[in-house]
Amino acid sequence: MSTAPTTPQRPPRTGLGTGPAPASGASPAPGTASAPGTVPAPADKHTRRFGLPVATALVMGNIIGGGIFLLPASVAPYGTISLVAFGVLTLGAITLALVFGRLAHRLPRTGGPYVYAREAFGDFAGFLTAWSYWITTWVSNAALAVAAVGYLDVLVPLHGSKPATIAAALLLQWLPALANLAGTRYVGAVQLVATVLKFLPLLLVAVGGLLSFDSANLGPFRASGDGALGAVSASAAILLFSYLGVESAAVSAGEVRDPRRNVGRATVLGTLAAAALYLLTTLSVFGTVPHERLVASTAPFTDSVNLVFGGSWGGSAVACMALVSMVGALNGWTLLSAQTPYAAARDGLFPKVFARKRRGVPTAGVLVTAVLASLLTVYNYTAGTGGVFETLVLVTTFTATVPYLLSTAAQLYFLLSGRPDRVHRPRLVRDAVLTLTAFGFSLWLVAGSGHAAVYQGVLFLFAGVLVYAWRAAREHRAAAAGDPSGT
């Protein structure tokens, strides 16, 4: 990895986000970067910094949730040209992963996109990034838990009982939350085990399907009747959000050993592993399930497993794989849901309670996220108002991409604001092209979320402006009263 151009020193900020400087010789606060080449020692036996395997598992586990089990049927109506869309999206995701790796090398601190946006564009941009990402995490956790209950019902019939369904959904949310509260040592262990348990069975299904591959099952290359560009764009709109989560290692950079080196590697390796699994499993299902049946299928992996291995046990096998996949994703996203508010709280942009850590984990962030996701889950099952929960989930498809846009814009700012006499022109051009490609990919993600998601997402995003205004006013009053901490 080349060294990016050096950025000029920014003057100290005043007002919101300004706090007392640490005393000379004081140890770095948890989650912040130490001097280059040093690694803070874990606080206790429950705290452990993530190595490259766990950081890679965090990226891969957060990218692969439950959507993989429906993707083949979702894109089948467009024909095998959807595999071309997969390839294009994979290239876009890898460019984004490379940009995050470069940003983490420059600013290896907990918070990821929030840190980059604030460093480049100031407190307000940083706050909007943190606010947007936080909304995404807890709404997505509720959606994951609701989806996981559907697979749990295959293994443990809930018999349509609403109380049992709600209890199961809450249990699926709180078990990962408890793992997080136990400490980063256990978060990493759960994430690594869950990722291995989801990767190996899916890989087995993919290999088994490829060995039984029959090209007669593929159907037409363009099944929708649209032109090639239209078919690729339409299938890409469905696949776009399959790669959300590439930023996972960057968000948790403060918990990663040697983040300047490992965050970038974990981001790229995790993205590549997830992409390979997506492509292999989709191609496998395409080649084992007849096209006409696949288009109408509501359980494509189940159909594929039953056809390849025989019998009718595919439903239970796929339900087990889906549950493990979703619990692993819930574990990782719960960690991320606390990391961004933690970083923002340390800078005075979120309430200070989010900056408190225990066993290496921002406990308030984990608890608040779990409570909000639980309330949304209960509302989903009891309100009886159709479409509200689905609308919130749709909103997250927009809010998840706002940090990507601001992060890639921040990288472009860092590249172009470096000292001209210290810039290596070929590397600058290469990194600028990479960043612009990642920015275009992020913009494509926004466009793919649809008009309704963008409209409603903007409303959610701007609702955070009121929170920022309240915090800014409070900081101003505290500074006027001689208490710059705002407490």
The 10s digit of each residue's pLDDT in 190-226 is: 888 888 888 888 888 888 888 888 888 887 887 776 6
Is the pLDDT at 75 greater than 90? The verdict is: no
User: What is the reported pLDDT for 159?
Assistant: 66
Asked if 408 and 435 count as a contact pair (C-beta separation under 8 A), the reply is yes
Measure the CA angle with vertex 403, ends 399 and 405; round to 5°.
105
pLDDT at 24: 32
Among 275-289, 364-378, 388-402, the range scoring the smallest mean pLDDT is 388-402
pLDDT reported for residue 422: 55
**Contact of 343 with 114, CB cutoff 8 Å:** yes
In the block, residue with structure tokens 């087990």: 320
Q: How far is CA 165 from the centre of its chain?
A: 26
Find where tokens 């409070």 sit: 474
Share of the chain above pLDDT 90, in %: 14
Quickly count: other Cβ atoms within 10 Å of residue 105's Cβ: 18
pLDDT band at 300 (very low <50, low <70, confident <90, very high): confident
User: Model confidence at 11, in pLDDT bands (50, 70, 90)?
Assistant: very low
- Per-residue tokens: 435: 């960043």
CB within 8 Å of 276: residues ≥ 6 apart:
none
From the list 76, 80, 408, 351, the residue with the least C-alpha distance to 238 is 76
Distance CA 148, CA 161 (A): 16
Give the pLDDT band (50/70/90) at residue 12: very low
Number of H helices, E strands in the chain: 18, 2
As a whole-number percent, the residues of the chain with pLDDT over 70 amount to: 86
Residue 460 has pLDDT above 90, yes or no: no
Supply the DSSP symbol for 398: H
- Tell me the residue type at 59: V
pLDDT-wise least confident of 1-10, 89-98, 272-281, 425-434: 1-10
pLDDT confidence band for 483 (50 / 70 / 90): low
Interhelix angle 52-63/184-211, rounded to 10 degrees, is: 60
Lowest mean pLDDT among 2-11, 268-277, 328-337: 2-11
Reported for 215-220, long-range contacts at CB under 8 A and 24+ positions apart, including other chains, are: 215/287, 216/290, 217/286, 217/287, 217/288, 217/289, 217/290, 217/291, 217/294, 218/80, 218/286, 218/287, 218/291, 219/76, 219/79, 219/80, 219/286, 219/290, 219/291, 219/292, 219/294, 220/79, 220/80, 220/291
The answer to whether residue 19 scores a pLDDT higher than 50 is no
Report pLDDT digits (tens) over 311-363.
777 778 888 888 888 888 888 888 888 889 999 998 888 888 898 888 778 88
- The per-residue pLDDT of the chain, averaged, comes to 80
Lowest mean pLDDT among 60-74, 123-137, 167-181, 269-283: 60-74
On the question of pLDDT at 408 being above 60, the answer is: yes
Residue 386's Cβ-count burial label (10 Å; 0-12, 13-18, 19+) is: exposed
* Cα angle 88, 94, 95; round to 5: 95
DSSP symbol at 255: G
- Mean pLDDT of the region 170-197: 84
Q: What pLDDT is stored for residue 384 in this prediction?
A: 62
Tokens of 421: 């006499």
The answer, yes or no, to whether residue 409 has pLDDT greater than 80, is yes
Which tens digit of pLDDT belongs to each residue from 437-451? 999 888 888 877 778
Output the pLDDT for position 35.
Answer: 38
Question: What number is the average pLDDT over the span 184-190?
Answer: 78
pLDDT for residue 108 is more than 50: yes
Both tokens assigned to 328: 């692993």
User: Can you tell me the mean pLDDT for 402-422?
Assistant: 83
The arithmetic mean of pLDDT across residues 135-159, rounded, is: 83
Q: What is the mean pLDDT of residues 160-184?
A: 86
160 vs 89, more confident: 89
Q: 34-37: which pairs have CB atoms within 8 A and are 24 or more residues apart?
A: 36/260
| Whole-angstrom distance, CA of residue 57 vs CA of residue 328 | 9
Q: What is the pLDDT of residue 454?
A: 86
Query: What's the average model confidence in pLDDT over 115-142?
Result: 91
Exposure string (b/e) for 313-332, b if CB count within 10 Å is 16 or more?
A: ebbebbbbbbbbbbbbbbbb
Tokens of 81: 């040209």
| 276-288: average pLDDT | 89
For 224-245, the pLDDT digits (tens) are 766 777 778 777 777 777 888 8
* pLDDT score at 39: 42
> How far is it, in rounded angstroms, from Cα 282 to Cα 68?
9
Confidence band (pLDDT; 50, 70, 90) for 131?
very high
In angstroms, rounded to a whole number, what is the distance separating the alpha carbons of residues 310 and 306?
A: 5
What pLDDT is stored for residue 209 in this prediction? 86
C-alpha of 191 from chain center: 14
Distance between CA 289 and CA 291 in Å, rounded? 6
